Structure 1
Amino acid sequence: MQLPQLAIRNHQFTWVMFLLLVLLGVVSFFTMPRSEDPQFDFSAAVIKVVNPGTTPLDMEKLVVDPLEAALNELDDLREIKTSVEDGLAVIRVEFLYGTDADDKYDDVVSAVSQVRDQLPASIVDLDIDKISPADVSILQLALVSEQADYPELKKHAETLEQKLERVSGVKRVDIAALPTLEVQIQVDQRKVNGLGISLDEIQAAVASAAQNLPGGHANAGERRFTVRTSGDYESLDAIGDTAVRGQGQRLIYLRDIAQISLTESLPSYRARLNGEKAVFLSVVQRKGSQIFQVREGIQQVLDSYSDKRLPQHIALKTVMDQSVSVERQIDGFFDNLNQGLILVAILSLIVLGLRPALVVVAAIPLSIFIAIGWVDLAGFGLQQMSIVGLVIALGLLVDNAIVVVENVARHLRDGDSPGDAAIKGSSQVAWAVTSGTLTTVLSFLPMLLMQNGSGTFMRAMPVTVVLTLFASLLIALTLTPLLASKLGTAAKTTTRSQKKLEAIADGFYLRWLNRALAKPKRVLGISLALLIGSLSLFPLIGVSLFPKAEKPMILVNIDMPEGSGFEQTEAMAQRVEALVRKQPLVVDIAQNVGRGNPRIYYNIMPSRQTVNFAQLFVTLSAHELAQVEPLVSALRDELSLIAGAQITVKEFLQGPPVEAPVEIRIMGEELNDIQRVSLDVASIMEQTPGVIGVDNPVGKYKVDLHVQINRDKAAMLGIPLSTIDRTIRTALVGLPMGVYRDDDGEEYNLVLRLSEYPRPELATFDDIQIATTHGKLVPLLQVASIELETSIARFQHFDTERMARVTSDVLPGFTTEAVTNAVVEQLQQYAWPEGVHFTVGGEQANRKKAFGGMAQALILAVFGIFAVLVLQFRSFVQPLIVFAAIPFALIGALLALFITGYTFSFTAFIGLTSLVGIVVNNSIILVDYANQMRREGMEQLAAIAAAAQTRFVPIVLTTLTTIGGLLPLTLSGSSMWSPMGWAIIGGLLVSTLLTLIVVPVLYRFLGKMPE
């Protein structure tokens, strides 16, 4: 290869090229997007439909079935998940990987629009949201006050919203926990009954007066005038002046029979921060922006507003600030990177000496800065995945420089001039270094090709590794030879450590190598036995997908019994909060009653929206699992003693979103069968060791009031059924009749209610009067009876099929895989009713998708590596020698995971992938050098022995520097990245030993030189 020679001869061009590349990287480093987690989109959407007072079965029939039928016709559909409960349906639609997220969102909107006219007119809310991991709050603020009323809090929240949305990098600001205000027209039922006025008559009068119908225009000569008619209500008093009926010589006005006020509607969502009334503002970062710059702009707005506009009785507090976590995470990774760099430098200095070590170490920051520039150009930001890619590459990128520098130094010791030594030494190993880098790159190909959520989540990491390796290869073939040519006579002398390593190579290692070559079958047998023995450890190690996220926050979900009122749920939330606050690690508690906390983590969507649900968002003073897990265990034990509610403590997980670690889906058509089986499955799960927090929504019952209408009697009295339904709704929860717009342009619904009952009561039915077609009023209970009936509380659909989802968490010390398998084994013995079956979801389903996609791509990568090796060695046999070293890398990786107690997680799989590239690289250098010796006339055994002896020092040194680069990250104790580090380190230690022994032995059998 002539590239090293060209770089040395055209050294000015080489210096300028690298200067520009490094400058690009430095600029990118300070300007590229920063975030905590990967920012990416995938094709998915959530449809939320709110229709108060509708039973789950009616929601299914009237809302879910038409929507699912329309959605099911869309192209590239992957799955549809639906949750149905009283008055609420949430449909989640996911499309195949690789489809355009914006196009698919438009398809969903179009499909919903096509069936919108088929849905009930009583729907009060129908939202379609695009799901994006990047669409998560980076900052949650709270306006807190016990003195201020909600209209005042709303005014400040909306003003802040407008100001914050003008900050560069802010996509939007969401306001949460602000009650809906409405103009309530509270009718005195006894007065209207005495006057013979029906609720329908009042509704018609107000709706007609509230209607704003433009009058058009009229011409007068050459002038044209716009005609204004009645228009909107101008004030609350104007609403009271609405004439309901003319009786004799006087009019009956609305103010005569009703009280009119602007007030809060029936409570559905309230929030508190540390016990005080609060309204939340959640700031969503624009994709591609820099979180620290966005946060700085936000802080300027907050400081200005707090000083000038915010009254003293309202406090503006921070609930969650993601920039703090991002800064800690990025600083931690860069600390690991810097510590690894120092260790690599020290090891290189000890073994190679000062000047050669400087050449090797110079490749590290240069490669990293060049790679950062390329990563920025590729559209990836700086977050945990890309930084970990740099840490992984740190141990790999010095390999090329070490091989080149060590070979140049060897030529200098043989008497060549610095220039000749640089050209000969670098050219001699150029092809081996290039093919080694390509095979390492190909070993990361599976992660790049994974077409699922896990692959998308991890994408930045393999991209960063690949780009960094290419940068290191470019440096090794151009800049490193140029720098090595300046070494002069300094590299002719060997360091004390290098002499010791060479002495080991010439003595101890050579003796053992000769013994191995003399008894090759015994060596291969022992190696194979070690491999089989290590594989037997796999069941003991266990398998997992992604670990728990080390976040200083947890969620506490509170599910009250079906039928519980809002006030009961609020009281329980306050009781639970008081217990949680006693924990020493707790900093703040954001209490959400009626809905989940605003979205503050990329793989968690806001929870249920119902009056019998509450959620506490708890921020902690520590993020380490060693401190958080004991807190979670203590809370679970203490909160399990509270009767009257199901309380679960949730930790945050890494990776793609899952409903829960363990998830069993019970599928069928008959809800009674599904419900009965779900109760049995929940019981089985509760008795399984390692299971905690079993949740079975479908197993819960609710008691409904059924208004049984006597249709014959209603027909005889001339009462339409629609009149009965409308009157009941008006009496209980109110009936929207129009819109009132105040002087500030704010719009409020006009709602007709009964004044006797501020909240819906059973006694309301005694006072309801129904108007007949003849204008007379008839008591409701004359044409209907009120009956109690039991019904299902909520259920789910999966791909349009009815389903019950039973989920649970896993206790510390247990693996999700083992717990799930134990549950499945029991379910396989269960007597399943006809038409009912189960599937496994949760982490196991995600893991099968992730590892399944990885396995397919891995096969492709193996063929790619083999093709590179065939081109390198011009042989189909010799590549098998290199490939044979790969399984032996698994020995050390499994041993390391077993000893350290980590499971074989997705990141450990990444470590094994990295290990494949390193092991292959070492084997390539050894086999390639042996072939060179044989081409110079040396006999096979002598050539492989000489190659092993000569390459011993660089192989050992690259192993030590790779371990040194990864050691700080590995010892950090990160549940995410320590398994990866231990897999690489353990695999390297064992595979290096076996490579130096087994590869020469295999070369004896398979090392036939190509023709």
Structure 2
Amino acid sequence: IKWTIADVKILQLALISETDEYSRMEKEAEQLEDVLKKVSGVRSIKVSAYPEQEVRIEINLEKLYQYKIALSQVINIIQSNNANIPGGDIDLGGKNFNIQTSGSFKDLKEIENVVVNSVNGQILFLKDIANVCRTYEDPKYIAKFNNKRAIFISADQKIGTNIFDVSNSLKEKVEEYKSKLPKSMSLETVFDQSQSVDKRLTGFFLNLLQGLILVGTILFLVVDIQTAIIVMLVIPISILIGIGLLDLSRFGLEQMSIAGLVIALGLLVDNAIVVTENISRYIQQGLSNFEAAVKGTSQITWAIISSTLTTILAFVPMMLMQDITGDFIRSMPVTVSYTLLASLLIALTLTPLLSEKFMSKNSVSKERKARKFLNKFVSNTYKSKLQFALDHPKTIIISAVIFFLISLSLFPLVGISFFPKAEKPLFMININLPEGSSISKTEKVANYVEEILMKKEEVINFTTNIGNGNPRIYYNVVSKTNADNYAQIFVELKEYNYDEFNNFLSELRNEFDDFAGAKIEVKDFEQGPPVEAPIAIKILGDDISSLRKISLDVENIFINTEGTVNVNNPLSTTKTDLYVNINKEKAAIYGVPIFEIDRTIRASINGLTISTYRDKTGKEYNIILRSPEGEKTDVEKFDRIYVSSISGGQIPLKQLAKIEFKTSPLTINHFDLARTVSLTSDVLSEYSVNSVTNQIVEKLKSYPFPKGYSFYIGGELESQQQSFGGMAKAMIIAIVGIFGILVLQFRSYKQPLIVFSAIPLAIIGSIIALLLTGNSFSFTAFV
């Protein structure tokens, strides 16, 4: 059986050291990577959160200015001295030899001794105007585990492999490798996906065991011991066949398929009970076991086929959902259908066989006599209630309608949330600083959050990612990448208790709310397919300034609506950029290509990759040309930059361009060909997503949108509408199919209508149960 999960990392490790160089940590991580790659079932191993080494040429712009040397001239000379062009081949004495040149740099000394110019007969070397060294790139991704410097190693599995086999093999290799690590390093497990899958499967098998015990006990009390044993035997066999069919269909045992098995547990027992009970009845009437098995089964064959098919048809609409929600939940209705088909097959084959072998008239009769008192009590109680209903049909019908209407009136109190919370002792903290903030500033804010987490007794571990999101360990969480102003902290608590968990998150939110200079969001995990956010409202229009004004008003509506948290408005802040306004006419007069200006500015300010260097081991490093680290960067720096003209002249940049400050929005998105801004929000656990969204929508309906501006509802509500909207036609077809099967079975139109009339009454118990348990109406409640 292929136990699979969604396409996420199944294992995340942290290689920790506070003293070792990153290069040594990287070496150990890569050695472990090589070991783990060999494990059967592993698709890939990724090492992340360490800075790459580079050869850095720190150019002194003052000396360039002094010698009137353009930066592009230095770039071209370095590139031409590091060329390795094949020299062709030559025929010598009847043998063919390839010609190789030794043009590439052998060591850093060769780079330092590159001649860049000759002034008054004096040779000027690169080392005279620059410092050449091998060092680490500027940090782009900083990782820590429990506030200790770390490198992450994460693994994902091949599709169709057994997560437990792969995970156990990986963990064995990890334990072996730990003994080889230097004392200054340690290796810790950040996240193990197999534990989560194991909990789900354990929950399912406990449900199966509980179901078997309950079914067996009830059948023993009401029917007989043989029937109880036979039914208890065929239930797990039906489950195994269903899992086998699931495997053949390339579905695995994952979150939704396990949920399907749990649902099927309550359905598949019916066929076995009906068949065994009918066979038992014929044995009591004096038929032989063989005759009773044949007659008892054949008499109700079409009845149980009809009942099974009607149940399967009820799940067909979910199979036909086409959007992302359909992809997410499809394995659940498929699992239910396969398991029910398996139970039907077993009920018509194995169940009669077992009944013929193990049932006897004496034991059946004896068992029934032993429970005569219980049967009499049940029969008399039910008979009296049924007789009352038959004698007072109007009273019963009116009462049912009243209860139905009352339950519908209570529905707003229940609320709607498409998918419930994940209910795991895990959550995330997302940190967003203003656009343009440095990664060092982001690290300071992350350190502040870490200090608070370290004081909390409930916290076991926390994993910090600065400049990047955590490796994907949960199927519907897609984190940011390569953002200096962003950090994400993945937190694990000792245990999960609904009230205590939500109180803890509220406590953290209160501590972070007043933090100035950064937005710190505390988010718990949710179930369901990925959506932009539980609540999302898109504002559409053409003018950016008008969109920004409207978005700020809508943001206030979000904030002032009870139940919202982590409100985000991309246009609430703007970014200011330095704009190099190139005078193209002057550039053309001086013969300076625009590309030359762009390249020179990039190299002078942030650094530019100009070539590569290969050391003696064969490892390649980028050669970066840039200003010295720590050099003061200001607008005057642009005055010291020279660019090369086509004729070889050196032209000051200030003669060709003006440096200006320019303000612009962070992002400009489009929806239906119109400019748009999307405002998003999470919802507190005690509130319904639909209820909060509807409150916001009602306020927006009364908002005075200018002509040409409108709003569009996204988020979870949009996902619901798309999912259930696409399911409407399939539901009509399924209902017609169910009705057709019932008509064929009963050979009547009235009886199927009577059966259908009872379906809405199920809402009464559903709504009362949801109210009593404090749950909202979700997709699982719908099923």
Q: What TM-score, normalized to structure 2?
A: 0.95
SS at match of 2:308: helix
Q: 1:717 to 1:508 in 2, by over 3 A?
A: closer
- Contact kept in structure 2, 1:165 and 1:173, CA below 8 Å: yes
CA–CA separation in structure 1 for the residues paired with 2:146 and 2:772: 44
- Contact kept in structure 1, 2:65 and 2:641, CA below 8 Å: no
Which shifted more, 605-614 or 809-818?
605-614
* Deviations 1:94-132, CA, capped at 9 Å, x for gaps: xxxxxxxxxxxxxxxxxxxxxxxxxxxxxxxxxxxxxxx
Aligned residue in 2 for 1:287? 159
Query: Does 2:359 align with 1:390?
Result: no
CA–CA separation in structure 2 for the residues paired with 1:390 and 1:774: 77
Which shifted more, 822-831 or 347-356?
347-356
Shift of 1:296: 2.1
Alignment of 1:130-141 (within 5 A): 134=7, 136-141=8-13
CA–CA separation in structure 1 for the residues paired with 2:629 and 2:384: 100
SS at match of 1:886: coil
CA–CA separation in structure 2 for the residues paired with 1:492 and 1:426: 20
Query: Does 2:399 align with 1:430?
Result: no
Shift of 1:774: 6.3
SS at match of 1:665: strand
Q: 1:828 to 1:419 in 2, by over 3 A?
A: same
Aligned residue in 1 for 2:752? 879
Counterpart AA for 2:454: R
Alignment of 1:572-583 (within 5 A): 572-583=445-456
* Deviations 1:882-903, CA, capped at 9 Å, x for gaps: 2222222222222222222211
Alignment of 1:797-946 (within 5 A): 797-798=670-671, 801-910=674-783
2:103 pairs with 226, 231, 241, which one?
Answer: 231
SS at match of 1:610: coil
1:192 pairs with 64, 84, 88, which one?
Answer: 64
Aligned residue in 1 for 2:411? 538
SS at match of 1:263: strand
Counterpart AA for 1:454: T
SS at match of 2:663: strand
CA–CA separation in structure 2 for the residues paired with 1:417 and 1:321: 57
CA–CA separation in structure 2 for the residues paired with 1:371 and 1:320: 31
Aligned residue in 2 for 1:300? 172
Aligned residue in 2 for 1:746? 619
Alignment of 1:395-410 (within 5 A): 395-410=266-281
CA–CA separation in structure 1 for the residues paired with 2:606 and 2:369: 88
Q: 1:388 to 1:755 in 2, by over 3 A?
A: closer
Counterpart AA for 2:317: P
CA–CA separation in structure 1 for the residues paired with 2:297 and 2:240: 23
2:475 pairs with 602, 606, 615, which one?
Answer: 602
Counterpart AA for 1:700: T
- Contact kept in structure 2, 1:188 and 1:756, CA below 8 Å: no
Query: Does 2:22 align with 1:154?
Result: no
CA–CA separation in structure 2 for the residues paired with 1:886 and 1:827: 37
CA–CA separation in structure 1 for the residues paired with 2:209 and 2:674: 54
* Deviations 1:528-573, CA, capped at 9 Å, x for gaps: 2222222222222111111111223211111112232221111111
Q: 1:711 to 1:414 in 2, by over 3 A?
A: closer
CA–CA separation in structure 2 for the residues paired with 1:440 and 1:706: 66
CA–CA separation in structure 2 for the residues paired with 1:462 and 1:800: 37
- Contact kept in structure 2, 1:554 and 1:617, CA below 8 Å: yes
- Contact kept in structure 1, 2:418 and 2:716, CA below 8 Å: yes
- Contact kept in structure 1, 2:418 and 2:779, CA below 8 Å: yes
Aligned residue in 1 for 2:2? 33
Shift of 1:590: 1.5
Aligned residue in 2 for 1:727? 600
- Contact kept in structure 1, 2:53 and 2:136, CA below 8 Å: yes
Aligned residue in 2 for 1:480? 351
Counterpart AA for 1:847: Q
Q: What TM-score, normalized to structure 1?
A: 0.74
Which shifted more, 408-417 or 395-404?
408-417
Query: Does 2:464 align with 1:615?
Result: no
Aligned residue in 1 for 2:538? 665
SS at match of 2:97: strand
Alignment of 1:339-378 (within 5 A): 339-378=210-249
* Deviations 1:188-232, CA, capped at 9 Å, x for gaps: 222222222221110110121223221211223412121122432
- Contact kept in structure 1, 2:533 and 2:680, CA below 8 Å: yes
CA–CA separation in structure 1 for the residues paired with 2:387 and 2:724: 41
Q: 1:645 to 1:810 in 2, by over 3 A?
A: same
Shift of 1:424: 3.1
CA–CA separation in structure 1 for the residues paired with 2:592 and 2:177: 58
CA–CA separation in structure 1 for the residues paired with 2:585 and 2:273: 95
- Contact kept in structure 2, 1:673 and 1:836, CA below 8 Å: no
Which shifted more, 610-619 or 791-800?
791-800
Aligned residue in 2 for 1:549? 422
* Deviations 1:897-932, CA, capped at 9 Å, x for gaps: 22222111100111xxxxxxxxxxxxxxxxxxxxxx
Aligned residue in 2 for 1:939? none
Counterpart AA for 2:2: P
Counterpart AA for 1:474: L
SS at match of 2:434: coil
- Contact kept in structure 1, 2:573 and 2:666, CA below 8 Å: yes
Shift of 1:505: 6.2
Q: 1:741 to 1:760 in 2, by over 3 A?
A: farther
**How many residues are paired up?**
781
Query: Does 2:444 align with 1:571?
Result: yes
Shift of 1:304: 3.1
SS at match of 1:860: helix
Aligned residue in 2 for 1:254? 126
CA–CA separation in structure 2 for the residues paired with 1:501 and 1:778: 105
Q: 1:248 to 1:388 in 2, by over 3 A?
A: same
CA–CA separation in structure 2 for the residues paired with 1:380 and 1:721: 56
Which shifted more, 845-854 or 792-801?
792-801
- Contact kept in structure 2, 1:561 and 1:644, CA below 8 Å: yes
CA–CA separation in structure 2 for the residues paired with 1:760 and 1:801: 39
Percent of aligned pairs sharing the same letter: 45
- Contact kept in structure 2, 1:409 and 1:491, CA below 8 Å: yes
Shift of 1:693: 1.0
Alignment of 1:633-712 (within 5 A): 633-709=506-582
CA–CA separation in structure 1 for the residues paired with 2:161 and 2:714: 35
CA–CA separation in structure 1 for the residues paired with 2:129 and 2:384: 108
- Contact kept in structure 1, 2:222 and 2:375, CA below 8 Å: no
Shift of 1:494: 4.9
* Deviations 1:125-149, CA, capped at 9 Å, x for gaps: xxxxxxxxx2x11111122112222
- Contact kept in structure 1, 2:608 and 2:625, CA below 8 Å: yes
2:291 pairs with 383, 403, 420, which one?
Answer: 420
Alignment of 1:453-532 (within 5 A): 453-485=324-356, 486-488=358-360, 489-495=362-368, 499-500=372-373, 502-504=375-377, 507-532=380-405
Shift of 1:445: 1.5
| Structure 1: gaps of 5 or more residues | 1-31, 40-133, 911-1011
Aligned residue in 2 for 1:559? 432
| Structure 2: gaps of 5 or more residues | none
CA–CA separation in structure 1 for the residues paired with 2:481 and 2:298: 65
Shift of 1:288: 0.9
Shift of 1:760: 4.6
Shift of 1:823: 0.7
- Contact kept in structure 2, 1:559 and 1:645, CA below 8 Å: yes
Shift of 1:692: 0.9
CA–CA separation in structure 1 for the residues paired with 2:772 and 2:452: 38
Q: 1:239 to 1:496 in 2, by over 3 A?
A: farther
Shift of 1:391: 2.2
Counterpart AA for 2:321: M
Aligned residue in 2 for 1:319? 190
Aligned residue in 2 for 1:328? 199
